[in-house]
């Protein structure tokens, strides 16, 4: 399991967003001093704010009204302005409006990240292959990755093709998300119209950038199982792991126990932030969301 929480912004989005900004600058789409506007309350927003600060670019991040103060503080800690907006689905239109009004650039990370992850300089794929190979003594046969923007599976697919590797990609989705049913029914316009409860994975509508050819299988992790997995990782590593990493762990175990032949499986610890202590690692928060992580404790027991 490759740990990506070591990045300055605490997640695998850090490296992807670096390549997004490099592509925008070298392509002439983003110029010195241009205000940047982002619509997200997740790791992409924190990473975008970091690179804006590093490049001396003013940054505004539009977040849902319900965004926890701790998450907003992480974004503001990178010197970005946070604008709260409702309803959640309207933050993208609001970000576009602010960009137009200020002469800024709307950074649509859902559209830009998948292409950036296919860049040969994207370090995640070779690092994951190396980590899985060292741990198992053989090249990976399966890669497990959460489905948020779709960038990770797109990058793993491109790396496999460039290097003649033979692993299969398994995407992990959350409840209420469009990825799993859209893929299952082969319907590119599938929409649930509902937000997901697992930060970092799931989308209410299947993104136009999603390429079903990049993936062999999509599984939908129960949200409570994703949280139970994150708690298991926290107990092992002593840091507040996000629930998307718990989803990765759940899916990797699921595949390993169902495979008809031995598999070498690679997956990642996607992020860790103190803000998760108030969400997926908080029993009261889980109760308000109708989630019961203890139901899945035995699934992750190392002595089982």
The pLDDT tens digits along the chain (304 residues) read: 999 999 999 999 999 999 999 999 999 999 999 999 999 999 999 999 999 999 999 999 999 998 888 899 999 999 999 999 998 889 999 999 999 999 999 999 999 999 999 999 999 999 999 999 998 889 999 999 999 999 999 999 999 999 999 999 999 999 999 999 999 999 999 999 888 999 999 999 898 889 999 999 999 999 999 999 999 999 999 999 999 999 999 999 999 999 999 999 999 999 999 999 999 999 999 999 999 999 998 999 765 4
Q: How many domains, the chain?
A: 2
Task: Please indicate, yes or no, whether residues 214 and 272 belong to a single structural domain of this protein.
Answer: yes
Segments forming the whole domain that contains residue 46: 3-115
Task: Please indicate, yes or no, whether residues 101 and 131 belong to a single structural domain of this protein.
Answer: no
Task: Please indicate, yes or no, whether residues 163 and 193 belong to a single structural domain of this protein.
Answer: yes
Cα angle value 150/152/157 (rounded, 5°): 95
Task: Please indicate, yes or no, whether residues 50 and 124 belong to a single structural domain of this protein.
Answer: no
Domain stop point among 47, 80, 115: 115
Sorted by sequence, the CB contacts under 8 Å of residue 122 that are 6+ apart come out as: 15, 16, 19, 116, 155, 159
Supply the pTM of this predicted model: 0.94
Q: What are phi and psi of 189, to 5 degrees?
A: -95, 15
Task: Please indicate, yes or no, whether residues 106 and 133 belong to a single structural domain of this protein.
Answer: no
pLDDT of residue 79: 97
pLDDT of residue 302: 60
pLDDT of residue 209: 86
Task: Please indicate, yes or no, whether residues 151 and 100 belong to a single structural domain of this protein.
Answer: no
The rounded percent of the chain whose pLDDT value lies above 90 is: 90
CA distance 221 to 124: 23
Task: Please indicate, yes or no, whether residues 149 and 294 belong to a single structural domain of this protein.
Answer: yes
Task: Please indicate, yes or no, whether residues 65 and 129 belong to a single structural domain of this protein.
Answer: no
CATH of the domain at 178: 3.40.50.1100
Q: What residues pair up with 171 in beta bridges, in sequence order?
A: 145, 218
Which one, of 144, 154, 195, 153, lies nearest residue 174 by Cα? Answer: 195
The H-assigned helical ranges of 221-266 are 223-237, 243-258
Task: Please indicate, yes or no, whether residues 39 and 142 belong to a single structural domain of this protein.
Answer: no
Cβ atoms < 10 Å from Cβ of 27: 8
The string of pLDDT tens digits covering residues 175-215 is: 999 999 999 999 999 999 888 999 999 999 898 889 999 99
Task: Please indicate, yes or no, whether residues 222 and 141 belong to a single structural domain of this protein.
Answer: yes
Copy the structure tokens of residue 83. Answer: 């604008």
Assign 3-class secondary structure to 278-291.
HCCCCHHHHHHCCC
Residues 179 and 152: beta-carbon distance below 8 Å: no
Domain stop point among 66, 98, 115: 115
CA distance 61 to 98: 10
pLDDT of residue 304: 44
pLDDT of residue 88: 84
Task: Please indicate, yes or no, whether residues 67 and 26 belong to a single structural domain of this protein.
Answer: yes
Domain stop point among 50, 81, 115: 115
């Amino acid at each position: 399991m490759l740990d990506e929480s070591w990045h300055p912004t605490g997640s695998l989005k850090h490296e992807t967003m670096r390549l997004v900004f490099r592509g925008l600058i070298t392509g002439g789409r983003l110029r010195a001093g241009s205000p940047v506007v982002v619509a997200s309350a997740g790791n992409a927003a924190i990473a975008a704010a970091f690179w804006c600060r590093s490049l001396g670019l003013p940054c505004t991040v539009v977040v849902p009204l319900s965004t926890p103060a701790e998450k907003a503080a992480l974004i503001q800690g990178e010197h970005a302005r946070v604008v709260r907006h409702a309803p959640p689905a309207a933050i993208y239109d609001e970000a576009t409006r602010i960009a137009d009004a200020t002469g800024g650039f709307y950074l649509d990370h859902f559209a830009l990240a998948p292409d950036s992850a296919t860049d040969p300089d994207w370090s995640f794929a070779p690092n994951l292959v190396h980590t899985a190979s060292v741990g198992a003594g053989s090249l990976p046969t399966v890669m497990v990755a959460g489905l948020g923007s779709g960038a990770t599976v797109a990058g793993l697919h491109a790396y496999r093709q460039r290097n003649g590797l033979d692993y299969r990609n398994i995407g992990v989705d959350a409840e209420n998300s469009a990825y799993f049913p859209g893929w299952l029914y082969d319907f590119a316009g599938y929409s649930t119209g509902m937000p997901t409860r697992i930060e970092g994975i799931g989308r209410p509508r299947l993104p136009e950038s999603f390429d079903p050819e990049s993936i062999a299988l999509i599984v939908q992790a129960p949200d409570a199982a994703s949280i139970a997995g994150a708690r298991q990782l926290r107990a092992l590593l002593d840091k507040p792991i996000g629930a998307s990493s718990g989803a990765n762990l759940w899916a990797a175990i699921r595949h390993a126990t169902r495979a008809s032949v031995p598999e070498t499986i690679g997956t990642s610890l996607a992020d860790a932030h103190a803000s998760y202590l108030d969400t997926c690692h908080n029993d009261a928060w889980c109760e308000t969301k109708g989630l019961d992580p203890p139901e899945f404790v035995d699934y992750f027991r190392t002595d089982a």
